Structure 1
Amino acid sequence: MDFTPVLDFSGKEPLYQQLYRQISLAIQGGTIAAGQRLPSIRQLAKLSGVGKITVEAAYQQLLTEGYITSRERSGFFAAEIEVWVEPEDLSAASLLPALPDGRDNREDVRYNFHGSVIDTRAFPYREWRTCMLEAMDKYADDFSFYGDRQGEWELRQVLAGYLRRVRTLQCAPEQIVIGTGLQQALSFLCLLLADRHRVVAMEEPGYADARVVFVHHGFTVVSVPLQEDGLSIESLEKSGATVVYTTPAHQYPHGMVLPVAKRHQLLQWARRVGGIVIENDYDGEFRYNVKPTPSLQGMDRDGTVVYIGNFSKAFSPALRMDYTVLPAALLQRYLSSYTAYPSPVCRHLQRTMQLFMQKGHWDKHVRKMRTLYHRKHDLLLKAIHTHMPQAVRVLSHSVGLHMLLEVETERSEDELIEQALAAGVRVYASGRSWAERPVDLLPRIIVGFGGVEEADLDEGVRILAEAWFGAAASA
């Protein structure tokens, strides 16, 4: 065999691992041909200057991974493996069209007013890390099984208690399904609803990504206009829909809160048509200077409301964990026909969140963030009133982590965003929220404050005003 391993006896990599790596690469590269006999354990130990145990460990790993075969009384032989050759020019070899940069560049500016970014400086790293380590020790057996199909029972127990206490829900742990985000939750609901409902109503404007999910699942989506106090019930009645997706606690993106009287009307509509209301309570923990309103699910007496909540706004969007509370009828459908779709959330993350809530860290964190975001909300509102001219009107505030600005200008939303970006400020368009955007609608820009430092809010708005209206406007 024309191959002699060269080992680094003073390096950090174990000697058996060095042997394994060099032999496997030689087989892949053809230096050791398929079917070629390898040295015996004794011979290779002498050749490489190591003990037999080291060679045995390397050969065992090579056997396990299929690089070599063992023949009784004949020794070890290089296996025939398929060799993959990386093309020199991937784009040319795969004939792909020119592709945009696949990285998400939301953090490449000084002032990023994204509506879903949280304040990571206030994240409870120490408490979360402690709970993660405790979950690994306390629930070590979790690694050997898939877990509860709806999500870990103990997490659902503590979550149900929280939702009853804080969000006025009427729910039991049995009704909760743990998922990985709104799109996944809506996709699962589409499976549950598809054979009985085919038309979904959505607020216009509303959350564009939700509309995409319904369309992908073959539903007809009809737009229901907003009034000053939220979804038009009269238009919903005429829509022909039997399912409605709504954000009553904080309409996205306009921000109004659906009043209690309209909530009753919406529930009456669902009862009359045998319909389903999908309530997305995406940032219900955060409201400022306004009283909290009861959840639709908590007011429901007929089992018509599906409630979707998440841990993203109050904790971290990177966790990718949400929860759906199913009414009794849909829960029975799930249990009878859809348990083949288990919870996709990592058991360890579920256990960590369970402990985090059981120890009281969650309630403490939400109270802390509510105070922090209240300050940021007020600072952003003050900065807008200070630096922006009368051509900018705040359409929504007092709830959630963003404000919606209407800008009286001849420029488009995209042009305003590009001007802001050139000045080092990132703001976001609301145009995608419309299924059919009115031609004469003024640009409406989403300005979030969750991830912006308090000290930067005033300066960020001042620079934004200067980019849009010149230095005089921000003076």
Structure 2
Amino acid sequence: MREFSLNLLSSKKPIFFQIYRYFKNEILDGQLQYDDLLPSIRSCAQSFEVSKNTVEVAYQLLVSEEYIRNIPKKGYKVVYQGETKPQHNTSTSDPSLTQTIRYDFRYGNIELNTFPFHHWNKVRNTCIAYNQSNYIVEGKAQGEYVLRKELARLLYEARGVISNPEQIIVGSTPQQLVSLLCQMLETDKHIIGVENPGYDGARNTFLNYGFQVHPIPLTEDGVSIHELKNSHANIMYVSPSQQFMNRMTLSQNKRHQLAAWVHSNAYIIEDDYEWEFKYQNDYLPSIQSLYPEKIIYIGRLSKALVPVFNLSYLVLPYDVLSLFHSKVAEYDQPVSRLDQLTFSQYLSDGYWYKQLQKMRETYEEKRKVFFEAISQYMKHVAKAEGKDMGLHTFLTVKTDKTEAELIGLGIQKGVKVYGTSRYWFHTEKKYPTVLLGYGALSANDIHNGIKLLAEAWFE
């Protein structure tokens, strides 16, 4: 592997951001190409003479923007393949190179024109005016206290989370915070249970740190307690508000069963994924509210609500918080002080709550159009999960075609959907499942895109 060099003293930007930007430019310039391995976190830290945590934050930013991916037991590989450009060489075997994508159902894309940039910039400018001297000194490693105080209030009011500001750690992405957790926990004392299918970012991070990971299958109302008890796992990673793949909400009975299970085990890691976008008024409180001493709570700021920066957060039980202070000698806060102070004031002034209500209405309308189109064009040949939640769905198609064939046929019609095999852990599927996000598409585009997919797959 070639050597990488970077003059970290030549910029006033945070070190993790300089490393992130350096590798991003290497990828965009073609110096690092698809499937190339990046240097390990340890070797990169040694080369740049920085902490491993600083490199980890930089790598997680690249992961969040889908430039690289963490491959268990191998390291970080480049997965970016450049912009899709229409070609006219009919001999190519890759249809994505010969078609212009008209409707991109990319998960994570959102509608930007509804975000109140004028309100955000007003709050940001106020923070700059009143806090200029504060940017010169280093901020709190766990995050700005005023932000953690606002988060504690928000989480208690909205999710029933019981916490104090000192229990909260601010980070950039959930995967970066899972990596931070791995630095606190001992691999020889903990076996991790993960939902199968489920969020691969957390699963791969646990594997990369050397933990034993057991896939726990799902039942109709959530993770199988029977399989969990038989797995020997003593930590369970679960998404009770919106299960990532099946889009189910964990029942109240199952939540109490998990709380009973953790009584004689180590911890539950509760990933409260997309709790903001459940469209029916049947919210269930977090599992953390049932057993705060045993629940490690992870949340994130939805990009659909505040698309201008990444922010996630951990709420730690006090015994795990003591591990953070004793085992994580250096934690370089990945979120800028200005972004933290701005969002804290944005919350305090009530803008976030107004934006949440507006975006729920916007995305609920899109969701209705999406499921109406599925019912109209694929009623008996496909099943979509998550009719009352989220900004995306997983579509299981009753066909003998493969996942790759479905994606390729869609591209030939100018419609891009995405594969889901990565979310399963050693499990054979009866029918292929594809991922569709509809946050950035208009109602008309959603309808037309689904119609074209039906033509591509079934005619």
The 1:445–1:323 alpha-carbon spacing in structure 2 relative to 1, beyond 3 Å, is same
SS in 2 for 1:363: helix
Shift of 1:343: 2.0
Shift of 1:453: 1.4
Which of 180, 193, 197 lines up with 1:188 in the alignment? Answer: 180
SS in 2 for 1:139: helix
Q: Provide, for residues 399-426 of structure 1, a one-character-per-residue CA deviation record: whole Å limited to 9, x for no partner.
A: 1111222111110111101111221111
The 1:466–1:165 alpha-carbon spacing in structure 2 relative to 1, beyond 3 Å, is same
Q: Report the counterpart of residue 82 of structure 2 in structure 1.
A: 103
Q: Report the counterpart of residue 279 of structure 2 in structure 1.
A: 288
Q: Report the counterpart of residue 289 of structure 2 in structure 1.
A: 298
Bigger CA radius of gyration: 1
Q: Provide, for residues 164-216 of structure 1, a one-character-per-residue CA deviation record: whole Å limited to 9, x for no partner.
A: 11111111111110001011100000111126733111011111121110011
Q: Report the counterpart of residue 198 of structure 1 in structure 2.
A: 190
1:467 and 2:459 are equivalent in the alignment: no
SS in 1 for 2:125: helix
Q: Report the counterpart of residue 219 of structure 2 in structure 1.
A: 227
Q: Report the counterpart of residue 441 of structure 2 in structure 1.
A: 452
1:321 and 2:311 are equivalent in the alignment: yes
CA distance in 2 between counterparts of 1:146 and 1:104 reads 38
Pairing of 1:285-364 with structure 2 (within 5 A): 285-289=276-280, 291-301=282-292, 303-316=293-306, 319-338=309-328, 340-364=330-354
> Contact 2:303–2:310 at 8 Å: present in 1 too?
no
SS in 2 for 1:368: helix
> Contact 2:111–2:304 at 8 Å: present in 1 too?
no
Shift of 1:296: 0.8
The 1:297–1:101 alpha-carbon spacing in structure 2 relative to 1, beyond 3 Å, is closer
TM norm structure 1: 0.75
> Contact 1:177–1:343 at 8 Å: present in 2 too?
no
Q: Report the counterpart of residue 14 of structure 2 in structure 1.
A: none
1:408 and 2:387 are equivalent in the alignment: no
> Contact 1:312–1:319 at 8 Å: present in 2 too?
no
CA distance in 2 between counterparts of 1:287 and 1:105 reads 34
Which of 234, 246, 249 lines up with 1:254 in the alignment? Answer: 246
The 1:105–1:240 alpha-carbon spacing in structure 2 relative to 1, beyond 3 Å, is farther
The residue type paired with residue 197 of structure 1 is: K
CA distance in 2 between counterparts of 1:331 and 1:289 reads 35
The residue type paired with residue 231 of structure 1 is: V
> Contact 1:190–1:214 at 8 Å: present in 2 too?
yes
Shift of 1:278: 0.7
SS in 2 for 1:285: helix
SS in 1 for 2:138: coil
The residue type paired with residue 397 of structure 1 is: K
451-460 vs 344-353, which moves further: 451-460
Structure 1 residue runs of 5 or longer lacking an equivalent are 1-64, 66-88, 471-475
CA distance in 2 between counterparts of 1:313 and 1:319 reads 8
Q: Report the counterpart of residue 430 of structure 2 in structure 1.
A: 441
CA distance in 2 between counterparts of 1:360 and 1:120 reads 20
SS in 2 for 1:201: strand
CA distance in 1 between counterparts of 2:317 and 2:146 reads 20
The residue type paired with residue 335 of structure 1 is: H
> Contact 1:283–1:314 at 8 Å: present in 2 too?
no
> Contact 2:187–2:211 at 8 Å: present in 1 too?
no
Shift of 1:137: 1.2
The 1:251–1:148 alpha-carbon spacing in structure 2 relative to 1, beyond 3 Å, is same
The 1:222–1:128 alpha-carbon spacing in structure 2 relative to 1, beyond 3 Å, is same
1:242 and 2:243 are equivalent in the alignment: no
Shift of 1:396: 3.1
SS in 1 for 2:395: strand
The residue type paired with residue 441 of structure 2 is: V
The residue type paired with residue 308 of structure 1 is: I
CA distance in 2 between counterparts of 1:135 and 1:161 reads 21
Which of 151, 161, 166 lines up with 1:159 in the alignment? Answer: 151
> Contact 1:200–1:221 at 8 Å: present in 2 too?
yes
1:169 and 2:161 are equivalent in the alignment: yes
SS in 2 for 1:251: coil
SS in 2 for 1:419: helix
CA distance in 2 between counterparts of 1:431 and 1:242 reads 26
1:179 and 2:171 are equivalent in the alignment: yes
Identity of aligned residues (%): 34
The residue type paired with residue 161 of structure 2 is: L
Q: CA RMSD in A?
A: 2.4
Shift of 1:100: 7.7
Shift of 1:227: 0.5
Structure 2 residue runs of 5 or longer lacking an equivalent are 1-9, 11-28, 38-77, 86-95
SS in 2 for 1:185: helix
CA distance in 2 between counterparts of 1:105 and 1:312 reads 27
> Contact 1:286–1:400 at 8 Å: present in 2 too?
yes
The residue type paired with residue 400 of structure 2 is: E
The 1:104–1:321 alpha-carbon spacing in structure 2 relative to 1, beyond 3 Å, is farther
The 1:102–1:318 alpha-carbon spacing in structure 2 relative to 1, beyond 3 Å, is farther
The 1:129–1:317 alpha-carbon spacing in structure 2 relative to 1, beyond 3 Å, is closer
The 1:236–1:105 alpha-carbon spacing in structure 2 relative to 1, beyond 3 Å, is farther
Q: Provide, for residues 289-318 of structure 1, a one-character-per-residue CA deviation record: whole Å limited to 9, x for no partner.
A: 3511111111215x1111111113442456
SS in 1 for 2:365: helix
> Contact 1:178–1:321 at 8 Å: present in 2 too?
yes
394-403 vs 405-414, which moves further: 394-403
